[in-house]
Amino acid sequence: MNNKTDFNHFNTLLVQNVGSKVGPIAPTITPSAAFGYEDAEQAEGIFSAQVNKPLYARVGNPTNAKLESIVAKVEGGFGAIATSSGMGAISMVCTAFLSAGDEILCIGGFFGGTYSLVNETLSRFGVSNSFCEVNDFTHIENKLKSGVKMVLFESVGNPSLTLPDVQGIIDLCNQYDTLVMIDNTATPLLLRPLEMGADIVVHSSTKNMSGHSAALGGIAVFREVDPQDDKLLHEKYADVHKIVKKMGKKAFIPICKKRAIRDYGMTANAFGSFMTMIGLETLSLRVERVNKSVETIANQLEQKLPKGVTVNHPCLVSSPDNARYLSDFPDGCGPLLTLDCGTKENAFKLLNALILVTQTANIGDNRTLALHMQSTIYSDFDAETRKFLGVTDGLIRVSIGLEDPTVIAEDFLEAAQEL
Ligand SMILES: *Cc1c(COP(=O)(O)O)cnc(C)c1O
């Protein structure tokens, strides 16, 4: 398949869909928590989903709805649900579909919050899990045969930067009628898993989608359901068959609303969704720019960093993922690269000598950010888990922003002189 990203197409789609031609051009913020109904009959219709009007802001809001329709178009999905954060989106989908006794298969490296959601929180509620390396197709197929209920992986391992065979995993999940959810936070526009046959895509919109660090948010995007022949009709999904039969093509939305968001309330707020849309207008421009800069910076650092510091990015010929990068991620795999300084002390020295780069736990920001992994996001994890996730003692994660790439590379090279 052709994996090239048509940035011009997305520029047009995004600015035209975020803005309106008539009336207020910027998206309207509807801050109301409740919405009056015309009469008792309309109230009944809204609650039974026969009438499409706002019910109560916990289960939907017109500003969120606009954001949802834009992101659904970008991902080639049928519908979407905006949530309070990226973790909100992942936990919404997990709790909507998983029950005590079910198993979730997690492939590759994971964001710390996702790892602990699965490993600690969901397991407290009786959902078991297994983790495997990104290329361990024997394990994946064995787990699919044994009836796991859901498969979850990230488009790009964070911070390991391993690249999965996205199409291969999706095809295998479809062969075994198993739901597959992909966290596409790092690669909006660059990878469109729903078009490749995935069921659910989630994003932390806090990151690349917004870019401005002004709004925490998440979103889950769903494919269309085939009411006659769909993996959701498999017996292992029997507890959602009633909703699939009643709601047909859009069944993913009521499944997540009725089985998660209504009861847990991980809903997006109107102001956050407004801010996310302001970011989305420029997403295509920013993604194109950042992904070019990442390659420039990775190459400059590889050539010029002193001994003792190494740079990792799949665009480098030295990376074990270089072949997959070239074939499957031809326009880039997101804003991240990593530096390994060998020891925690050296990593701290380098970080503290940076002049332009901001130290924070975010990624996908318009500014370049850096963070020592082991002492922050992964400080609660034992050594074995850190090893599985690719977190070495000297590892710094860098998220490239919109600045002049040469100036950012210089900031790292100057700082590395301190070691
Ligand atoms: C940040 C992040 C999340 C969690 O998103 P929040 O908006 O912080 O809740 C999930 N997955 C990935 C890959 C992330 O980078």
Binning pLDDT at 50, 70 and 90, where does residue 2 land?
A: low
Cβ–ligand 1 distance for 363 under 6 Å, the answer yes
Distance of CA 388 to the CA centre of its chain: 20
Question: pLDDT at position 158, please?
Answer: 84
Q: pLDDT tens digits for 192-243?
A: 999 999 999 999 999 999 999 999 999 999 999 999 999 999 999 999 999 9
**Residue 265 has what DSSP assignment?**
-
Mutate which of 156, 203, 206 for ligand 1 pocket (most atoms within 8 A of beta carbon): 206
Cα 107 to ligand 1 centre (Å) = 16
Sorted by sequence, the CB contacts under 8 Å of residue 360 that are 6+ apart come out as 369, 371
Distance of CA 361 to the CA centre of its chain: 16
Query: What percentage of the chain exceeds 90 in pLDDT?
Result: 93
Ordered by where they begin, the domains of the chain are 7-30+61-280 (3.40.640.10), 284-416 (3.90.1150.10)
Distance of CA 268 to the CA centre of its chain: 16
Residue 293 has pLDDT above 80, yes or no: yes
Binning pLDDT at 50, 70 and 90, where does residue 387 land?
A: confident
| Coil, strand or helix at 272 | helix
Cα 245 to ligand 1 centre (Å) = 33
Find where tokens 């709004």 sit: 215
DSSP conformation letters of 131-174:
EE-TT-HHHHHHHHHTT-SEEEEESS-TTT-----HHHHHHHHH
**Would you put residue 368 in left (φ > 0), alpha (ψ -120 to 50) or beta?**
beta
Q: pLDDT tens digits for 361-378?
A: 999 999 999 999 999 998
Cβ–ligand 1 distance for 204 under 6 Å, the answer yes
Under 8 Å between Cβ of 270 and 61: yes
Question: pLDDT at position 359, please?
Answer: 97
User: Cα–Cα distance between 238 and 406 in angstroms, integer?
Assistant: 55
Give φ, ψ of 72 to 5 degrees: -60, -40
Residue 51 has pLDDT above 60, yes or no: yes
Mutate which of 185, 216, 363 for ligand 1 pocket (most atoms within 8 A of beta carbon): 185
**Would you put residue 101 in left (φ > 0), alpha (ψ -120 to 50) or beta?**
left
The strand pair at 179-183 and 200-204 is best described as parallel
Cα 46 to ligand 1 centre (Å) = 33
State the Rg of the chain over Cα. 22
Cβ–ligand 1 distance for 218 under 6 Å, the answer yes
Q: pLDDT tens digits for 84-142?
A: 999 999 999 999 999 999 999 999 988 889 999 999 999 999 999 999 999 999 999 99
Cα 40 to ligand 1 centre (Å) = 41
User: What tokens appear for 417 in the block?
Assistant: 């002189």
Residue of 219, 145, 141, 142 whose CA lies nearest to 182 = 219
Residue nearest ligand 1's atom 8 by CA:
86
User: Cα–Cα distance between 170 and 104 in angstroms, integer?
Assistant: 15
Cβ–ligand 1 distance for 162 under 6 Å, the answer no
Residue nearest ligand 1's atom 4 by CA:
86
Query: In ligand 1, which atom is closest to the CA atom of 185?
Result: 13
Cα 363 to ligand 1 centre (Å) = 9
Mutate which of 110, 204, 266, 267 for ligand 1 pocket (most atoms within 8 A of beta carbon): 204
Q: What angle do CA 119, 334, 299 make, to 5 degrees?
A: 120
User: What tokens appear for 150 in the block?
Assistant: 């859901």
Query: In ligand 1, which atom is closest to the CA atom of 90?
Result: 10
The strand pair at 310-312 and 336-340 is best described as antiparallel
Cβ–ligand 1 distance for 86 under 6 Å, the answer yes
Question: pLDDT at position 375, please?
Answer: 96
Cβ–ligand 1 distance for 213 under 6 Å, the answer no
